[in-house]
């Protein structure tokens, strides 16, 4: 009995040669190091039949492949941040209600005030009694920490954990961390309909990516190099997704932009414009 051969490592992509034409599912990489994360790595969605029959008019429709940390920072961290901010503002309202002669401050202003003038300035203006001052200060500091932009996922997660520790009677830091990470990891097992997770998209890009299907980029087809060239292309093809993942991405993309029912008033005004155009040429 022959020994079993080790299985090939799993990957959602396959390599292509310079003789393979540009097709749906190709992964292209920006040549410029200054490309934004929306343009750095793209997945081609133009249909093969459009390429074959030149229906795309030389334009290649793509969606960005965001590195997983970029995607979470862009789309998931803000949602968690919003929930934490709501809780902080609610706690601030409760705390300030207990302060004698405290002015009525809207929720919007409670959030904006420490960001505009700093926590020290806010505390001087409110001048709460010593017994509640420290708790109120911690809440305002947590508001500023929650609102601050993060340069990386680690600092964003830590800021959210620290902010929630300022809430009266908080959960333990370990439980807060578990809640934040649970909200983030849920998007791998149950991603929203406009995102598709891919662990690897090319030999040099195997760090985990989300294809974000709502953001479209169009690239001129001549600007995409399929192999070594003397020209100066904007993009170079680096791989192609396996067929199953090409089909999944195109099917999911179609579902995102699937036609929905429109109101009868719209149908009527559309018919009116159509008739007016016809009248112009009678």
Among 135, 156, 189, the domain boundary falls at 189
Residues 46 and 121 in one domain: no
Query: E strands along the chain, which residues?
Result: 13-14, 26-30, 41-44, 59-67, 195-198, 209-212, 217-220, 224-225, 235-241
Is the torsion defined by CA of 236, 59, 20, 63 positive or negative?
Answer: positive
In the three-class reduction of DSSP (H, G, I as helix; E, B as strand; rest coil), residue 135 is classed as helix
pLDDT band at 8 (very low <50, low <70, confident <90, very high): low
- Of the chain, the percentage scoring pLDDT greater than 70 comes to 95
Domain count, the chain: 2
- Given a cut of 60, whether residue 2 has pLDDT beyond it is no
Higher pLDDT, 65 or 264: 65
Domain that holds residue 183: 71-189
Domain contains 1: no
Domain contains 26: yes
In the three-class reduction of DSSP (H, G, I as helix; E, B as strand; rest coil), residue 226 is classed as coil
Contact by Cβ (8 Å): 202, 13 = yes
Distance of CA 214 to the CA centre of its chain: 10
Domain contains 160: yes
- Given a cut of 60, whether residue 101 has pLDDT beyond it is yes
Give percent helix, percent strand, percent coil of the chain, each to the nearest 5: 50, 15, 35
Q: What pLDDT does residue 191 have?
A: 82
Give the CB-side neighbour count of residue 44, counting CA atoms within 13 A. Answer: 30
Among 139, 169, 189, the domain boundary falls at 189
Residues 124 and 38 in one domain: no
**pLDDT digits 0-9 by tens, 237-266:** 999 999 999 999 999 999 888 766 667 887
Q: What is the CATH number of the domain that holds 55?
A: 2.30.30.110
Domain contains 272: no
Residues 95 and 178 in one domain: yes
Radius of gyration of the chain measured on its C-alpha atoms: 26
Phi/psi at 259 (nearest 5 deg)? -60, 140
Tell me how far apart the alpha carbons of residues 82 and 105 are, in angstroms, rounded to a whole number. Answer: 19
Distance of CA 38 to the CA centre of its chain: 10
pLDDT band at 282 (very low <50, low <70, confident <90, very high): low
Q: What pLDDT does residue 202 have?
A: 96
Average pLDDT for residues 54-67, to the nearest whole number? Answer: 95
Q: What pLDDT does residue 259 have?
A: 60
Residues 139 and 182 in one domain: yes
pLDDT band at 1 (very low <50, low <70, confident <90, very high): very low
Domain contains 278: no
What pTM does this model have?
0.82
Range name among 22-36, 73-87, 252-266 with the lowest pLDDT average: 252-266
Tell me how far apart the alpha carbons of residues 246 and 267 are, in angstroms, rounded to a whole number. Answer: 35
Q: What pLDDT does residue 224 have?
A: 96
């Amino acid at each position: 009995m022959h020994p079993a051969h080790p299985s090939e490592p799993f990957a959602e992509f396959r390599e292509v040669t310079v003789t393979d034409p540009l097709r749906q599912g190709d992964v292209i990489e920006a040549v410029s190091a200054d490309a934004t994360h929306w343009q750095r790595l793209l997945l081609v969605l133009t249909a093969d039949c459009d390429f074959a029959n030149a229906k795309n008019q030389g334009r290649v429709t793509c969606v960005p492949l965001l590195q997983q940390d970029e995607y979470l920072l862009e789309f998931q961290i803000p949602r968690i941040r919003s929930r934490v901010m709501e809780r902080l503002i609610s706690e601030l309202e409760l705390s300030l209600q207990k302060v004698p002669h405290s002015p009525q401050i809207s929720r919007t202003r409670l959030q904006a005030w420490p960001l505009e003038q700093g926590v020290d300035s806010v505390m001087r203006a409110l001048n709460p009694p010593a017994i509640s001052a420290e708790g109120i200060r911690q809440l305002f500091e947590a508001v500023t920490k929650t609102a601050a932009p993060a340069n990386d996922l680690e600092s964003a997660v830590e800021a959210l954990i620290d902010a929630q520790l300022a809430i009266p009677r908080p959960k333990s830091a370990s439980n807060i961390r578990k809640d934040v990470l649970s909200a983030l990891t849920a998007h791998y097992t149950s991603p929203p309909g406009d995102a598709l997770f891919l662990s690897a998209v090319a030999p040099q890009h195997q760090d985990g990516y989300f294809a974000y299907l709502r953001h479209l980029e169009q690239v001129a087809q001549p600007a995409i190099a399929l192999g070594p060239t003397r020209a100066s292309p904007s993009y170079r093809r680096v791989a192609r997704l396996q067929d199953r993942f090409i089909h999944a991405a195109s099917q999911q993309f179609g579902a995102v932009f699937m036609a929905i029912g429109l109101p009868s008033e719209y149908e009527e005004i559309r018919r009116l414009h159509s008739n007016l155009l016809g009248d112009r040429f009678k």
